[in-house]
């Protein structure tokens, strides 16, 4: 047996050295269906085919683009300019590239690579050799025919370079990594520690993002030569190299035919000592066995993906399911070290319990319609760790983070929807965090105007002084859509207060949860931009005014945001009228089919239903509230079929956004969804059209008393997408929703599916799910 890794901070680690060989003779495992190459064309920096663990600090991946939007890896480009360690939003660091022949320190152009060294060290690849699976990536470079393989633990990377002929080999370590938010290197240093080890750091800054990547690099071969460069100046045989700007380091080897050179790396935002501790803790148990580390990564991923077992349907749908499930855990990042040390938003070193990892990401903007639901149901330990991480950052920095990129207050996106995840976790019985501290943090966040941070970021809510005074965000100041998002967070806080028995605060926030009505124009029956003096903006239409900053609708339009009221769908139906609600919504889907429900090129004004962005990912589920649940069944299927694909060129149209599109697919394919984000005091799931004949969720017995929950969809197919009848734990179910508590107590939901809608099922007035204006009867 391979020695057991000392600690896995996110998921149990099981190691079996013979797993890969045994798998060849067994039927496919969930990990075999997950394809990291899926959707990697026209994708973001955070979405790549690299080797990483769930929420891995190290995300080893090939980079083949330059410093452009949607940079990093592009499937259609058949060359590679380096393999870098960090692929978090607004963050990068330490690119590695094996080369042969004459030393060349220039990366070269992505549009004009060579197989030699005339323009740069960038190398074309043999595309047919490219392989990717969870925790593993491999490709053969044309430059030297070097087979390069990558695998990793949570904080450490492992490279294996195989040389087919005698070669003068160089391994380059470049600190200049071009990506969506290319950083300036303020200060950096490399040190050759001994004949097998290099250490160093790179202090980097982009906009408000300021961080230092510390690293330790070791080789299983003796370093035969070394040097470095700053700008275009190369220095040979230097033990130490310090500088700023574009710089890097290289080591030389005299590679023989058939020789394999291995390289292990680890990083830390805290210190070089912590990087070395990360390396020794996570890599030493495996000695220098690349296969053991790969097998461990594979097994960790398979253990995670196997928490949901799907049966029936096609191999393509299984590939889509497990690839989407994989994406739900791969892009966000753990930033605390194995000893629990981390750097807070004020650049101070902090210590936390190693079992409470500090996690970073892009914003939690509208994750209540995707990631929150998946994590709280299938991996409540993950929801718990995120909640505790939020609270640790609050204690250190004084604010809850809306997107703690590198543990900084980024200010990206709007509102404070981390509150929805904290509230949903508590309501579902995930309570291994300080609820009183969470209450304190929420009260501060939702009663105090946001502030600019010293480094140029933003903490708290923008335009909040006006919101608190007027009950809406005026057009002169910012996006009217913020009003709706703030009102939803107010409702979430109210539900948390109710659960804690804090009546006064509950009543205050429930009144504020009605603020969406302040920007509803009854004359046109839309959410409309409103001036500070109370007058409506005149130059306006339902499809106008997408905003990325300033007045309008954040990454959407009035049509979309007029359905945005997660906590009170019935309230919108009351204002719009049920017939108008159903007709307008269904017409929007019919218009959007030809676009595959995606606003191509960020043209948010042009498409009613835009699954490729967050503001109306709930749209297909709203028919459950308006008496036409068969349209939920119809349109969720259409989105799964059209928006989601199973190839590198068609995985997720639009912006996958760190697992949000992936987790939506997982929930929809199980036929479950939470429009209110699961934040009500008694959470529930709405029911759609399951993709698989049988889905089995293994419940976490640390949080939930049930062993499994199964969803059977008898006769389900693309044609048989409509629910004819239903039973829940053997009893007839006539409503299109079920309580979370009943689900996690274990049991089964059985749906009989057919080709035509049963318009009598779930459509009576008393069948609708609860919402603020229609509480549970």
> Of 728, 725, 710, which is closest to residue 311 (Cα–Cα)?
710
CA distance 313 to 324: 16
Strand pairing category for 708-714 and 747-754: parallel
* Helix (H/G/I), strand (E/B), else coil: 151: strand
Count H helices, E strands: the chain? 18, 37
- pLDDT tens digits along 375-422: 999 999 999 999 999 999 999 999 999 989 899 999 889 999 999 999
Name the pLDDT band for 604 (thresholds 50, 70, 90).
confident
Q: Report the C-alpha gap between 774 and 777 in whole angstroms.
A: 8
Helix (H) or strand (E) holding 303: helix 290-305
Q: How confident is the model at residue 777 (pLDDT cuts 50, 70, 90)?
A: low
Please, what is the average pLDDT of the chain? 94
pLDDT at 7 over 60: no
The yes-or-no verdict on residue 92 having pLDDT over 90 is yes
Distances (CA, A) of 679 to 73, 372, 424, 514: 37, 10, 4, 16
DSSP 8-state class, residue 127: E
| pLDDT on residue 193 | 98
The pLDDT-based confidence of 113 (bands split at 50, 70, 90) is confident
Q: What is the pLDDT of residues 731-747, one digit of tens each?
A: 999 999 999 999 999 99
> Is the separation of the CB atoms in 237 and 226 below 8 Å?
yes
CATH code, residues 19-305: 2.70.98.10
How far apart are the C-alpha atoms of 210 and 180, rounded to whole Å? 16
Report the half-sphere exposure of 680 (CA within 13 A, side-chain side).
Answer: 21
Asked whether residue 295 carries a pLDDT value surpassing 60, the answer given is: yes
Name the residue among 298, 429, 310 with its Cα closest to residue 697.
Answer: 310
In the predicted model, is pLDDT for residue 8 greater than 50?
A: no
> Which carries the bigger pLDDT value, residue 23 or residue 118?
118
Q: Is 168 exposed, middle or buried (0-12, 13-18, 19+ CB in 10 A)?
A: middle
Confidence check: pLDDT of 15 > 80: no
Note the pLDDT of residue 118: 55
Mind listing the pLDDT tens digit for each residue in 695-740?
999 999 999 999 999 999 999 999 999 999 999 999 999 999 999 9
Residue 483 dihedral angles phi and psi, to the nearest 5° = -55, -45
Query: Contact, 488 vs 513, CB < 8 A?
Result: yes
Residue-wise pLDDT tens digits, 633-661: 999 999 999 999 999 999 998 888 899 99
**685-693 mean pLDDT:** 98
Sequence-distant (≥ 6) Cβ neighbours of residue 380 within 8 angstroms: 425, 428, 429, 430, 700, 702, 703, 704
pLDDT digits (tens, 9 = 90+) for 36-74: 999 999 999 999 999 999 999 999 999 999 999 889 999
**Per-residue CA distances from 262 to 60, 126, 685, 728 (Å):** 15, 21, 49, 55
Q: List the beta bridge partners of residue 62.
A: 83
Query: Residue 105: what pLDDT?
Result: 96
- Residues 119-143 have a mean pLDDT of 96
Whether pTM > 0.75 for this model: the answer is yes
Predicted pLDDT of residue 601: 78
pLDDT tier at 776, thresholds 50, 70, 90: confident
């Amino acid at each position: 047996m391979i020695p057991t890794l000392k600690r896995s901070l996110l998921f149990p680690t099981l190691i079996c050295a013979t797993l890969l060989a045994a798998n060849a003779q067994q039927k496919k495992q969930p990990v075999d269906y997950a394809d990291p190459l899926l959707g990697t064309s026209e994708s973001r920096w955070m979405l790549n085919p690299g080797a990483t663990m769930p929420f891995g600090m190290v995300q080893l991946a090939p980079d083949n683009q330059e410093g452009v939007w949607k940079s990093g890896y592009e499937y259609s480009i058949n060359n590679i300019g380096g393999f870098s360690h960090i692929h978090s939003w607004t963050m990068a660091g330490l690119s590695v590239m094996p080369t042969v022949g004459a030393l060349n320190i220039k990366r070269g152009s992505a549009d004009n690579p060579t197989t030699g060294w005339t323009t740069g060290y960038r190398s074309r690849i043999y595309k047919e050799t490219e392989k990717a699976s969870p925790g593993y990536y491999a490709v053969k470079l044309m430059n030297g025919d070097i087979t390069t393989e990558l695998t990793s633990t949570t904080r450490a990377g492992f490279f294996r370079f195989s040389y087919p002929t005698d070669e003068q080999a160089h391994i380059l370590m470049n600190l200049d990594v071009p990506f969506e938010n290319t950083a300036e290197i303020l200060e950096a240093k490399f040190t050759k520690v001994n004949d097998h080890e290099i250490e160093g750091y790179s202090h980097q800054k982009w906009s408000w993002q300021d961080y230092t990547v510390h690293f330790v690099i070791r080789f299983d071969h003796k370093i035969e030569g070394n040097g470095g460069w700053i700008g275009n100046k190369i220095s040979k045989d230097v033990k130490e190299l310090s500088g700023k700007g574009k710089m890097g380091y290289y080591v030389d080897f005299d590679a023989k035919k058939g020789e394999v050179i291995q390289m292990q790396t680890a990083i830390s935002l805290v210190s070089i000592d912590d990087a070395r501790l990360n390396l020794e803790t996570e890599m030493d148990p495996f000695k220098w066995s690349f296969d053991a580390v790969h097998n461990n990564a594979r097994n960790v991923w398979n253990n995670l993906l196997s928490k949901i077992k799907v049966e029936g349907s096609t191999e393509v749908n299984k590939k889509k399911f497990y690839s989407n499930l994989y994406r739900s855990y791969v892009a966000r990042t753990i930033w605390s070290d194995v000893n629990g040390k981390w750097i807070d938003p004020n650049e101070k070193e902090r210590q936390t319990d190693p079992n409470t990892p500090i996690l970073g990401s892009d914003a939690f903007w509208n994750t209540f319609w995707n990631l929150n639901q998946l994590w709280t149901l299938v991996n409540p330990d993950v929801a718990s760790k995120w909640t505790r991480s939020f609270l640790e950052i609050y204690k250190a920095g004084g604010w809850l983070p809306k997107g703690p990129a590198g543990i900084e207050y980024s200010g990206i996106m709007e509102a404070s929807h981390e509150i929805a995840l904290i509230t949903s976790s508590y309501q579902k019985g995930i309570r291994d965090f300080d609820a009183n501290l969470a209450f304190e943090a929420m009260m501060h966040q939702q009663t105090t105007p946001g502030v600019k941070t010293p480094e140029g970021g933003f903490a708290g809510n923008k335009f909040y002084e006006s919101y608190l005074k007027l009950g809406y965000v005026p057009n002169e100041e910012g996006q009217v859509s913020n009003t709706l998002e703030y009102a939803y967070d107010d409702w979430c806080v109210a539900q948390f207060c109710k659960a804690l028995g804090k009546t006064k605060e509950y009543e205050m926030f429930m009144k504020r949860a009605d603020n969406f009505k302040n920007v509803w124009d009854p004359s046109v029956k839309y959410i409309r931009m409103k001036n500070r003096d109370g007058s409506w903006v005149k130059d306006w239409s339902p499809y106008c005014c997408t905003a990325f900053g300033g007045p309008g609708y954040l990454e959407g339009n009035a049509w979309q945001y007029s359905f945005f009221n997660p906590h009170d769908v019935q309230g919108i139906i009351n204002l719009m009228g049920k017939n108008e609600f159903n007709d307008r919504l269904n017409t929007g889907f019919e218009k959007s089919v030809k676009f595959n429900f995606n606003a191509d090129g960020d043209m948010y004004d042009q498409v009613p239903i835009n699954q490729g962005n967050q503001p109306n990912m709930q749209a297909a589920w709203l028919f459950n509230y308006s008496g036409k649940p068969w349209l939920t069944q119809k349109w969720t299927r259409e989105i799964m079929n059209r928006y989601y694909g199973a190839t590198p060129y068609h995985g997720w149209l639009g912006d996958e956004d760190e697992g949000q599109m992936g987790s939506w697919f997982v929930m929809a394919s199980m036929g479950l969804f939470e429009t209110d984000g699961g934040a009500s005091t008694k959470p529930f799931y709405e029911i759609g059209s399951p993709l698989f004949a049988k889905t089995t969720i293994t419940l976490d017995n640390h949080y939930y008393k049930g062993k499994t929950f199964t969803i059977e969809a008898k006769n389900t197919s693309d044609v048989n997408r409509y629910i004819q009848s239903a039973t829940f734990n053997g009893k007839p179910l006539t409503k299109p929703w079920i309580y979370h508590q009943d689900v996690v107590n274990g049991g089964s939901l059985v749906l009989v599916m057919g080709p035509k809608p049963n318009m009598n099922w779930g459509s009576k007035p008393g069948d609708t799910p609860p919402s603020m204006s229609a509480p549970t009867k």
